[in-house]
Amino acid sequence: MKKKIAILGSTGSIGKTTFDIIKKNKKDFEIILLTTNKNTNKILQQAKLLKVKNILISSQPHYLKIKKKLKNSKIKVHNNLDNLQNIVKRKIDYTMCAISGLSGLKPTIDAIKFSKNIAIANKESIICGWQFIDKALRKNKTNFIPIDSEHFSIWTLLKNQNKNNIKRIYLTASGGPFLNKKNSSIENIKPKYALKHPNWKMGKKISIDSATLMNKIFEVIEAKKIFDLDITKIKIIIHPRSYMHAIVHFNNGLVKFLAHDTNMAIPIMNSLYMNYKSFIYNNDKLNFEALNGLNFIKPDVKKFPVIKLLNRIKNKYSYFETILISINDFLVDKYLNGEINYFSLNINLMKLIKIPYFTRYYKLKPKNIIDIKIMVKKVNTYLNKIKLN
Ligand code: NDP
Ligand code: MG
């Protein structure tokens, strides 16, 4: 029988990769629901191609336009992302959560209720709302598969392992497009260069976070939450080839590495076929050239000032994660719009995270996802009022 699938954020980088895998393997999968914010052309193309019955368009004007256009079509057009359970009424096999940002949190928790397996790429939701995601996973007995490549690798390496046997986990970082550039040459560098990731093709926001290494700080928090580890056990190491995705050093002296090509289709395809049947990703030979070129470097704090944030991450859950994500989102947006330069992006982030207006919340924690939303608003209201350096 075909697996029933939903893709939240099907028009984004992860969403499109997931869709394309399904398109090539139509005999194994049936898509029940696709969602987008505004990309109506793409979602319509996807829905027609695989005869998807439900599409959801979050942006109200875009929804209204398509709703009118598809008045007599078999495709049902929905608008409310906070009401997924009214669209998917029976349990489905798998949902891919690939909406970017915290808008993905509530839909992820809802999808856990109607999915046997939930694949989560949306790291912001894991970082800020893991407590609520984890609770929903346990309550609904839903299988969770992390999709971020490093976490998919760690998760694979830790199967059948006792957590107490872990000595250290190393998350590999490519170092982004500026690894070998002089600091003085990147202070005013334009976003189009920061978006040129040497190894991965990703959405805009995550590409900027990869250039500053902020993505890796987020991934440390993500790993801490998913694998319930003490923060001191998780380290970052630069590996420019991005062939190795995670290294786990065990107390018994063994070290496990996981390598694969820099293509998100690999973790996604593995998650789709999990516990199902064997499949062939491609027939390429093992990349010995990449293996011979393994090269690991300690990250330089001067190049990547955000590394200092590692000292601020606590084991205890608080508003810190939500505030960090919100400040970074705000600044990345300003940088992408040309309102601040690359230097300011880093400097302001390091400065703002320490101001008393925010630090007073680092001893408090959100009680529910509404508290998280309120905090995001609070941070944005504050940041909109101040003058950035
Ligand atoms: P993209 O920006 O490419 O796509 C995001 C998707 O979410 C799009 O479908 C977009 O719709 C939709 N979306 C965005 N904002 C909203 C909103 N407010 N309401 C409803 N839908 C919305 O992101 P990526 O695919 O790159 O990343 C998705 C998530 O996966 C992120 O959290 C990212 O950190 C994580 N991730 C991504 C990796 C990658 O390789 N790209 C690797 C590891 C993790 P629209 O098309 O209309 O904008
Ligand atoms: Mg990653």
Q: What is the pLDDT of residues 207-244, one digit of tens each?
A: 999 999 999 999 999 999 999 999 999 999 999 999 99
pLDDT value, residue 193: 94
Two tokens, residue 175: 């170092």
pLDDT value, residue 202: 82
pLDDT value, residue 198: 85
Q: Residue 124 CA: which ligand 1 atom is closest?
A: 32
CB 267 within 8 A of CB 147: yes
CB 382 within 8 A of CB 357: yes
pLDDT value, residue 175: 95
Q: Name the nearest CA neighbour of 78 among 110, 101, 102.
A: 110
Two tokens, residue 205: 């926001």
pLDDT value, residue 278: 83
Beta strands in the chain (DSSP E): 3-8, 29-36, 54-57, 76-78, 92-97, 115-120, 143-146, 166-173, 234-238, 244-250, 255-259
Say which amino acid occupies 372: I
Q: Residue 36 CA: which ligand 1 atom is closest?
A: 11
CA dist., res. 168 & res. 389, Å (int): 37
CA dist., res. 170 & res. 179, Å (int): 19
Helix, strand or coil for residue 339? coil
pLDDT value, residue 178: 94
Helix, strand or coil for residue 1? coil
Q: Is the CB of 148 under 6 A from ligand 1?
A: yes
Closest ligand to C-alpha of residue 199 is: 1
Question: In sequence order, which residues have a C-beta less than 8 Å from that of residue 9 and are 6 or more positions away?
Answer: 15, 35, 36, 96, 97, 98, 99, 100, 104, 122
pLDDT value, residue 265: 96
CB 127 within 8 A of CB 222: yes
Q: Is the CB of 84 under 6 A from ligand 1?
A: no
pLDDT value, residue 389: 81
Could you give the C-alpha distances from 350 to 2, 225, 254, 264, in angstroms and in order? 49, 23, 37, 30
Q: Is the CB of 9 under 6 A from ligand 1?
A: yes
Say which amino acid occupies 299: P
pLDDT value, residue 84: 97
Q: pLDDT under 70 in the chain at which residues? A: none
CA dist., res. 38 & res. 56, Å (int): 10
**Helix (H) or strand (E) segment spanning residue 195:** none
H helices then E strands: how many in the chain? Answer: 16, 11
CB 34 within 8 A of CB 47: yes
Q: Name the nearest CA neighbour of 210 among 175, 170, 245, 247.
A: 175
Q: Residue 15 CA: which ligand 1 atom is closest?
A: 25
Q: Is the CB of 175 under 6 A from ligand 1?
A: no
- What are the φ and ψ backbone dihedral angles of 167, each rounded to 5 degrees? -90, -55
Q: Residue 62 CA: which ligand 1 atom is closest?
A: 47
Q: Is the CB of 98 under 6 A from ligand 1?
A: yes
Classify residue 388 as exposed, middle or buried by CB count within 10 Å of its CB (0-12, 13-18, 19+). Answer: middle
CATH 3.10.580.10 assigned to 3-147: no
Residues of the chain with CATH 3.40.50.720: 3-147
Other beta carbons within 10 Å of 25: 15
pLDDT value, residue 200: 82
* Sheet bearing 143-146, strands edge to edge: 76-78, 54-57, 29-36, 3-8, 92-97, 115-120, 143-146
Could you give the C-alpha distances from 166 to 230, 256, 271, in angstroms and in order? 10, 11, 24
Task: Tell me, in angstroms, the distance from the centre of ligand 2 to residue 195's CA.
Answer: 15
